[in-house]
Chain A
Amino acid sequence: KNEVEQSPQNLTAQEGEFITINCSYSVGISALHWLQQHPGGGIVSLFMLSSGKKKHGRLIATINIQEKHSSLHITASHPRDSAVYICAYSGGGADGLTFGKGTHLIIQP
């Protein structure tokens, strides 16, 4: 049983579209992470948040702690945004992350 559910699993969109990826989890958490993985394997942390909203460039992440739900938005999407986006949570302390299975995003020019 995966404790982190992401949707959609796959998403193909046209350049310039507004993108939303959703993440739901079922347990209490200390922080929610959004990660990006490009072909070739490298994983980069985009956001870590425990409440509210964060913005970095064209990326916005929100979290609703009561509903146990987070969203990642990409405005004015670009082909270089094509990647796998992974949602994960940390329970606190030094323990590792629990991951969703990822959303494979393709932005077509």
Chain B
Amino acid sequence: DVKVTQSSRYLVKRTGEKVFLECVQDMDHENMFWYRQDPGLGLRLIYFSYDVKMKEKGDIPEGYSVSREKKERFSLILESASTNQTSMYLCASSLNSGTGYEQYFGPGTRLTVT
């Protein structure tokens, strides 16, 4: 069974804090993704990575950065948290099969920035 774990289910941070969200997968997947989910907007891609130390911007990368030092771990960093980054954050991973691939999601981290 593929397992994608996220470091926290709930997190409360203050405006201006640096926030780290960690994601770990145990199936040797090449691809890893960070999404955020907001009511009325659905899921949107923040960043993705197709290999160690590689990263690509998604649709809404502003205010975020990522780190992938090991294949199994993909971190999302909020350099200076703001209230508009209050959201549900979901990590996912997949094999890189070229034409299409099933994504496996973590349980999500509900982040509140006050």
Contact = CB atoms under 8 A, between A and B. Distances in A.
Contacts of B48: 94-96
Interface in B57-114: 58, 88, 90, 92, 96, 98-105, 107-108, 110
A43 B42 contact: no
Interface of B: 30-31, 33, 35, 40-45, 48, 50, 56, 58, 88, 90, 92, 96, 98-105, 107-108, 110
Interface of A: 2, 30-31, 33, 35, 40-45, 48, 50, 86, 88, 90, 92-102
Given A97-B45, A100-B42, A41 B110 contact: yes
Please provide the 10 A-B residue pairs with the shortest distance between their CB atoms, ordered closest to farther.
A31-B100, A94-B50, A96-B45, A41-B108, A43-B105, A101-B42, A99-B43, A96-B33, A30-B99, A30-B100
A102 B99 contact: no
A100 B96 CA distance: 23
B42 A94 contact: no
B106 to A, nearest CB: 8
Contacts of B30: 94
Contacts of A100: 42
B99 A92 contact: yes
Contacts of B58: 96
Contacts of A43: 90, 92, 105, 108
